[in-house]
Amino acid sequence: MANLSLRQIYKVYKGAKKKKIKKSEAGKVRSGDFTAVQDFNMEIEDGEFIVFVGPSGCGKSTTLRMIAGLEEITSGELYIGDTLVNDVEPKDRDIAMVFQSYALYPHMTAYQNISFGLKIGKTPAVERDKSTLVKDKKGKPKFILFRLFGKTLKEQTDEDGNILTDADGNPLYVVKRNKAGEEIKNKKGEPVFEKRGYNDDEKYGAIIKGEDGKPVLIAKKDKDGNIKLDKTGKPVFKMRKWTKQEIDAKVRWAAKVLGVEDLLQSKPAAMSGGQRQRIALGRAMVREPKVFLLDEPLSNLDAKLRTTMRSEIVNLHESLKATFIYVTHDQVEAMTMGTRIVVMKLGIVQQIDTPTNLFDYPENKFVAGFIGTPQMNFFDVKAKRVKDNLALTFANGESISLDLYKMRKIREDLLDGQEHSLVLGVRGEHINVSEKGLTLSINITELLGSETHLFAELEGAETKYIICLKDRAVYYKGDKIKVSFNESKIHLFDTDDKSVLDRETAQQGCYNN
Ligand code: ATP
């Protein structure tokens, strides 16, 4: 597990070539250098579930790939834990990546696919206490093969696993019994005891732990006995291969967590998309990385399976307690999975926040429109303060008055009594059909069982608006309705698309004049 720190990260693709493009895309063409990610700053806490979301091409995969080490960082600093990893190889970053295409080996079984990385990988060797090795009669440690395959008598233990002894301090052994529960005796009439294999302390020596309770790793030394250091100035540790037993235990643990124990001997061709995705997750899990990076891992699955896998990944995050970074262009996926979400557009971070804060307090018009279904409605308005109210004039010339003290606190410079061009943002569920208010004309009515969605137009405006009513209602094309807005739920954006409202509700008398 680890925290991550992204500091002023940039990705510039040098000399990205001019592409042949359609006429409709003219103006979006780029030539020369192309900045795919700009000034990305973020502190990610250990164990968070972070989602990068945004439209295609916004730079989310590039950022993820820079964290993975698959893409070079043009400038800025990336820390995993307290290590600067800009120049650290992907394999040394302690991360595991799961891609949209599962990238399983088709000729291997699920077991082989999950264990592949461990078989070719290594783990740090730890200092062991040789005094605990099983000894022969002369007191010398027994030969390794004997330790691995030899057996000894099984001791009796109490509930806490402590070995029980007789009055002289000699261990008591477990007597073998037949099916009827009677003690088995040998020809001489002596009891026969159960046997066990040697435990890891006896086979390899007990793991020596440091003051922090963690195993002590063996640092490599040069000829002069000095500890070898890597590029980042950290000691280089001796590595060893995983044992077969360790690999087996890890594969079975991952298979159990993912519910794919029955599939371990199947090959990918005989699996469904969801099963393959789980195997790909298993392959990442067994490495027990500090950080899981997932790039649109569910986009190849059908809608139903996506929903199931979504909650499975959330459960997996909860049980592993590792840091997850997840890329998607689907805002529903982002809202349901992330503890925090990073909304990106054209390589620039728009807002980093919790799902509810993004919904309630979007910092700009892009975030407001991107998060939430149906999409937020936007009205161009002229806003003018009149005493304790804000008068909004719409494209059709009508005005409505909002109580400033029922709204969130507005930026003070907009309260100077002058007219300001703003954009009113309001979600369909916060618009009420009322006796007086703004006149809209109905275009389409959608009855959705318990709810009704009205699609409406405003004279003088080109946009279509959606109103979500909690009840059933019947309106016909061309019907005129009056609507009012729930003042505490409205959003206002300036001509730079920035929100002009505070998160706090205005308190009576909070404005200077
Ligand atoms: P998608 O959801 O479509 O994968 P994304 O948000 O993940 O989109 P990226 O893959 O990060 O987007 O790409 C960001 C931008 O960088 C895009 O405009 C892309 O065309 C550009 N880009 C990516 N790789 C390269 C490259 N090797 N050379 C030049 N430009 C690149």
Distances (CA, A) of 109 to 114, 313, 350, 352, 390: 9, 22, 43, 41, 67
Closest atom of ligand 1 to CA, residue 37? 14
Candidates 11, 40, 56, 67: which one to mutate for ligand 1, based on the most atoms within 8 Å of Cβ? Answer: 56
φ/ψ of 334, rounded to 5, equals -60, -50
- Quick: pLDDT tens for 230-284: 877 788 899 999 988 889 999 998 898 888 899 999 999 999 888 888 899 899 8
Rounded distance between C-alpha atoms, residue 323 and residue 428, angstroms: 35
Quick one: pLDDT band at residue 467, thresholds 50, 70, 90? Answer: very high
> What percentage of the chain carries pLDDT values higher than 90?
65
Nearest ligand 1 atom to alpha carbon 64: 11
Eight-class DSSP state of 430? G
Whether the pLDDT of residue 139 is over 70: the answer is yes
Residue whose Cα lies nearest atom 14 of ligand 1: it is 59
Neighbours of 229 (CB within 10 A): 13
φ and ψ at residue 290, rounded to 5 degrees: -75, -35
C-alpha distances in Å from residue 422, one per residue of 365, 439, 462: 11, 19, 17
In the three-class reduction of DSSP (H, G, I as helix; E, B as strand; rest coil), residue 355 is classed as helix
Long-range contacts from 252-257, C-beta under 8 angstroms, 24+ separation: 253/286, 254/114, 254/281, 254/282, 254/285, 254/286, 255/110, 255/114, 255/282, 257/285, 257/316, 257/319
pLDDT at 352: 97
Average pLDDT over residues 107-134: 92
Going by the DSSP 8-state scheme, the letter that residue 258 receives in this structure is: H
pLDDT surpasses 70 at 413 = yes
Predicted confidence (pLDDT) at residue 346 exceeds the cutoff of 70:
yes
DSSP result, 109-151: -HHHHHHHHHHH-EEE-B-EEGGGS-B-TTSPBPPHHHHHH-E
Residue with the smallest CA separation from ligand 1 atom 12 is 57
Angle between helices 303-320 and 273-285 (to 10 degrees): 20
Pocket test for ligand 1, best of 19, 35, 60 (most atoms within 8 A of CB): 60
- Work out the percent of the chain whose per-residue pLDDT is above 70: 96
C-beta of residue 216 within 8 angstroms of C-beta of residue 208 = yes
The burial of 231, by beta-carbon neighbours within 10 Å (0-12 exposed, 13-18 middle, 19 or more buried), is given as: exposed
Report residue 85 as tokens: 């990893």
What's the rounded mean pLDDT across residues 3-22? 78
Ligand 1 in reach of 512 Cβ (< 6 A): no
Per residue in 350-398, pLDDT (tens digit) is: 999 999 999 999 999 999 999 999 999 999 999 999 999 999 999 999 9
Distance CA 315, CA 294 (A): 15
Distance 36 CA to ligand 1 centre (A): 7
| Upstream peptide bond of 191 is cis (omega within 30 degrees of 0) | no
pLDDT of residue 26 exceeding 50, the answer is no
Residue 323 has pLDDT above 60, yes or no: yes
Between CA 443 and CA 457 the distance in angstroms is 7
CA distances from 171 to 140, 156, 166, 429 (A): 21, 8, 6, 74
Contact 425, 491 (CB under 8 A): yes
DSSP class per residue in 261-329 = GGGTT--GGGS-HHHHHHHHHHHHHTT--SEEEEESTTTTS-HHHHHHHHHHHHHHHHHH--EEEEEES
Distance between CA atoms of residues 51 and 293, nearest Å: 10
The region of weakest confidence among 3-12, 96-105, 431-440, 482-491 is: 96-105
pTM of the model: 0.80
More confident residue, 18 or 178: 178
Least confident segment among 290-304, 333-347, 354-368: 290-304
Q: Tell me the pLDDT tens digit for each residue of 140-188.
A: 998 888 888 899 999 999 988 899 999 999 999 999 999 998 999 999 9
pLDDT digits (tens, 9 = 90+) for 193-243: 999 999 989 998 999 999 988 899 999 998 898 999 887 778 889 999 998
Residue 33 has φ and ψ, to the nearest 5°, of: -70, 150
**How does DSSP assign 20-55, residue by residue?**
P--GGGTTS---S-EEEEEEEEEEE-TT-EEEEE-S
DSSP class of residue 335 equals: H
441 in helix, strand or coil?
strand
Whether ligand 1 lies within 6 angstroms of the CB of 65 is answered as no
What is the pLDDT at residue 233? 79
Residue 30 has pLDDT above 70, yes or no: no
Q: Tell me the three state secondary structure of residue 7.
A: strand
- The stretches of 212-263 forming alpha helices (DSSP H) are 244-258
Please tell me the predicted confidence (pLDDT) of residue 319. Answer: 84
